[in-house]
Amino acid sequence: MDNSLIIPIEVLEQAKMTAQELAVEIAVYLYEKKRLTMGQAKRVAGLGQIAFQHELAKRGVYIHYNLADFEKDIKNLGIQL
């Protein structure tokens, strides 16, 4: 089963976007709405970690990072508070 999304070229032309630009827009939107994780969103966008974070910053989208994430990072680093 192919789970690819097909966007007609006419739609991209009307939006004045490339397929890559649309993929980034979709990925950023779904990440901002907390529908995708950072890893999933950067994969949809076809970008690496830093490049995707730059795209988020350009759009004023904050990285989702909460206390549970912080505690997990502290534990993984072996730091005791």
**Does pLDDT of 33 surpass 80?**
yes
pLDDT digits (tens, 9 = 90+) for 3-15: 788 889 999 999 9
Cβ-based neighbour number of residue 56 at 10 Å: 20
Task: Report, as an integer, the average pLDDT of 27-44.
Answer: 95
Split into its structural domains, the chain has a count of: 1
The answer to the question of residue 73 being in a domain is yes
Mean of the per-residue pLDDT values of the chain:
91
Single-letter amino acid code for the residue at 67: L
The answer to whether the beta carbons of residues 32 and 17 sit under 8 Å apart is: no
Q: Give the pLDDT confidence of 61-76 residue by residue, as tens digits.
A: 999 888 888 888 888 8
The answer on pLDDT for 1 being more than 70 is: no
Q: Is residue 29 part of a domain?
A: yes
Domain that holds residue 37: 9-77
In a domain, 35, yes or no: yes
In a domain, 62, yes or no: yes
Q: Residue 2 domain-assigned?
A: no
